[in-house]
Amino acid sequence: MENILVTGGAGFIGANFIRYLLQHETGIRVINLDKLTYAGNLGNLSNLPSPNRYTFIQGDICDAPLVNRLMHEYAIDTVVHFAAETHVDRSISTPATFIQTNIMGTFTLLEAARQAWLDDALYPLDRVRFHHISTDEEFGSLGPHDPPFSETTPYAPNSPYAASKASSDQLVRSYAHTY
Q: Which residues are catalytic?
A: 136-137, 161
Cα(70)–Cα(72) distance, integer angstroms:
5
HSE of 72, CA atoms in CB hemisphere, 13 A: 13
Backbone dihedral angles phi then psi of residue 29, each to the nearest 5 degrees: -125, 140
Cα(7)–Cα(51) distance, integer angstroms:
17
Alpha carbon of 105 to those of 37, 49, 54, 109: distances in Å?
A: 14, 29, 23, 6
3-state secondary structure of 104: helix
3-state secondary structure of 121: coil
State how beta strands 129-132 and 3-7 pair.
Answer: unpaired
